Amino acid sequence: MPQMAPPAAATRLLLSGNEAVARAVWESGVRVAAAYPGTPATEIIESVARYPDLHAEWSVNEKVSMEVALGASMTGARAFCAMKHVGLNVASDCLMTMTITGANGGLVIAVADDVGMSSSQNEQDSRFWGRFAHIPVLEPADSQEAYEMTKLAFDFSEKYETPVLLRLTTRICHVKGLVTVGERVAHEPAGFVKNPQRWVMVPAHAKTRIPSLFQRDETLRAVSEASPLNVLEAGTDRSVGFVASGPAYMHVKEAFPNAPVLKLGFSYPWPPQKVRELAAMCDKLVVVEETELLLETEIKAAGIACHGKDVLPRIGELSPQVLIPAVDRLLGKPVPPPAPAAAPLKVFPRPPTLCASCPHMGIYYTLSQIKNIIVSGDIGCYTLGAGHPWNALDTTICMGATMGVALGIDKGRGEVDKNKRILAVIGDSTFMHMGMQGLLDITYNKGNVTVLLLDNNTTGMTGGQATPASGKDIHGKEAPRVDLAKVVEALGVPNERIKVVDPYELPVLFKTIRDEIKTEGPSVIIARRPCVLIDDFKPFRPYLVEEDKCTGCGNCIEVGCPAIHVTHREKVIKPSGKEVELAFVNIDNQACTGCGLCVQPCAPDAIQHVPRRDIPIHIVKT
């Protein structure tokens, strides 16, 4: 990964919120930065890793990334970790003790909430962790603030010896703006000082530190009241005032530019006196928060009348299109009926799908052909196996859950499911993130589960980041490579029940799965083929359809490759009198990389290699 050339002081750069945070991390003199990739936070550490003079890493999961950052902070070094909202759940075990030990060197945790669930299995509000863990929460509203608040957070962390939570949302992470940046200021660690009463969190030590945690709460509340990050803006329209933070503040200013607003950049602890001042400026007070009624509840508990989720939706972004009619109704203003919906355009549906030649397609095509099975899935590109045309996943809960869920199904099933086979599907990165413990639980408790470990040599869903099994580090340099087969054996799977297959070889794959699910006890099938979007993938000679041979059987369509297109359909009557629809296809050989998955189910042998003279140069295999 190429390093960035640091610009001169006071340079203005066009940066996303993620890039702005990364820039501030570097300028703040951070020595250690760690993360596990997860949208919308992935690009933070990717950007940090391009700067010199610090250690950046992909950790195996978010909990480890936070522990790495805490260890660095213990030495007096400035440290940083980043994750998406569900990743903070994984890291919470460390967080809830770290809040008692406090920080030594500045320690900042960036968490990105996916408001609207554009790429997540739930919609969480990470502000709760500030209250739960008794740590301050800063909320930027644009890229410039993301940069400034990150730098301020490190100073704040060291001054009050506390971790600081920087709460971002998808809109902050991915929207770009001009940011005035500076230069790096180095911070030399003072060194680790032995102090078991602080760093060894046995009950006796923890009890002595709890009172200081509550004292810190009181100190921070006073700081919040005086903080320039909490800005009270007087308005000319007294009919309604707003409390807002982050992108919600921007939405309020766009929708109601003349209203008084309390902008909370330092949102926990919140400043009660400033809220009371705002309430005195307006007839009605509305709390605009994405997504939970967290602040609204606390404001009401303080005896301040306000509105919030009684007029605003509980889910999604609170854009001006949402705010204006909701507030108008509150004020008794006429709200025009919504414009009639335009007739939907007649376009071909484009649901999310796997890439052309994705090795996961062979897995799901095969599973779709096997009956009487229950398939537990996990988080990754391969979650798309639940969709058309495969419909091959029955559960997906959270990172690493496939193993425990599969074991639970195995142990909990009754007569109706007793003859069904149980499979668990998990990717290589997810397996190392949180799947190994689940496999150990299967072997330890003698589960009758077959695990399909999809080894595509990367973290595919978030953009092809390196993993411990890829043999590369965050910079693309050589690193020790984990042998997944040896790990699986070490976790208790007998050697003879560990199979390594090529997911492009459908007959072998089908037979291996069929044999393993018929055999009692735990087994693991490692399906090994690199992701088509990384450098390790080498394309083959592409294919085309010979139209005169195609019978319209549609077998190739069931593979699910997006390079295969239906050109036309025909209805015919079989000799039996049954009407069937035939689907005739072609292959986009600019997208085809020659995996051959579609060739194997093609009964009439209508799919052939593109003549060499017609092969697109960029996909020739050497």
Domain end among 186, 203, 226: 226
Whether 6 is covered by a domain: the verdict is no
Q: Are 289 and 421 in a shared domain?
A: no
488 vs 438: CA distance, rounded Å = 11
Predicted confidence at residue 2, as pLDDT, reads 47
Q: What is the pTM of this model?
A: 0.88
204 vs 543: CA distance, rounded Å = 69
Q: Are 564 and 501 in a shared domain?
A: no
Domain end among 472, 498, 528: 528
355 vs 595: CA distance, rounded Å = 12
Determine phi and psi for 436, rounding to 5 degrees. -65, -40
Residue 373 makes CB contacts below 8 A (sequence gap 6+) with 367, 420, 421, 422, 423, 517
Q: Are 272 and 377 in a shared domain?
A: no
Residues 419-441, mean pLDDT to the nearest whole number: 94
Structural domain count, the chain: 4
Whether 340 is covered by a domain: the verdict is no
Q: Are 404 and 493 in a shared domain?
A: yes
Q: Are 220 and 294 in a shared domain?
A: no
Q: Are 145 and 236 in a shared domain?
A: no
Whether 313 is covered by a domain: the verdict is yes
Q: Are 216 and 237 in a shared domain?
A: no
pLDDT band at 614 (very low <50, low <70, confident <90, very high): low
Buried b (16+ CB within 10 A) or exposed e, 170-183: bbbbbeebebebbe
pLDDT above 70 covers what percent of the chain?
96
- Can you say which residues are annotated as belonging to the binding site? 550, 553, 556, 561, 592, 595, 598, 602
Q: Are 495 and 559 in a shared domain?
A: no
Predicted confidence at residue 613, as pLDDT, reads 59
Tens-digit pLDDT profile for residues 67-102: 999 999 999 999 999 999 999 999 999 999 999 999
Q: Which neighbouring-strand residues pair with 231?
A: 263
Determine phi and psi for 513, rounding to 5 degrees. -65, -45
Q: Are 218 and 252 in a shared domain?
A: no
Whether 533 is covered by a domain: the verdict is no
Whether 351 is covered by a domain: the verdict is no
Instruction: Please answer whether residues 111 and 84 qualify as being in contact, where contact means their C-beta atoms are separated by less than 8 angstroms.
Output: yes
Indicate which CATH number applies to the domain containing 216: 3.40.50.970
pLDDT band at 620 (very low <50, low <70, confident <90, very high): very low
- Among residues 98, 116, 115, the alpha carbon closest in space to that of 107 is found at 98
169 vs 414: CA distance, rounded Å = 44
Domain end among 528, 558, 574: 528
Predicted confidence at residue 621, as pLDDT, reads 40
584 vs 372: CA distance, rounded Å = 31
Q: Whole domain around residue 213: which residue ranges? A: 11-226
Residues 152-172, mean pLDDT to the nearest whole number: 95
- Can you say which residues are annotated as belonging to the binding site for [4Fe-4S] cluster? 550, 553, 556, 561, 592, 595, 598, 602
Whether 204 is covered by a domain: the verdict is yes
Tens-digit pLDDT profile for residues 223-265: 999 999 999 999 899 999 999 999 999 999 999 999 999 999 9
Q: Are 159 and 65 in a shared domain?
A: yes
Indicate which CATH number applies to the domain containing 558: 3.30.70
Q: Are 113 and 156 in a shared domain?
A: yes
Whether 481 is covered by a domain: the verdict is yes
Indicate which CATH number applies to the domain containing 318: 3.40.50.920
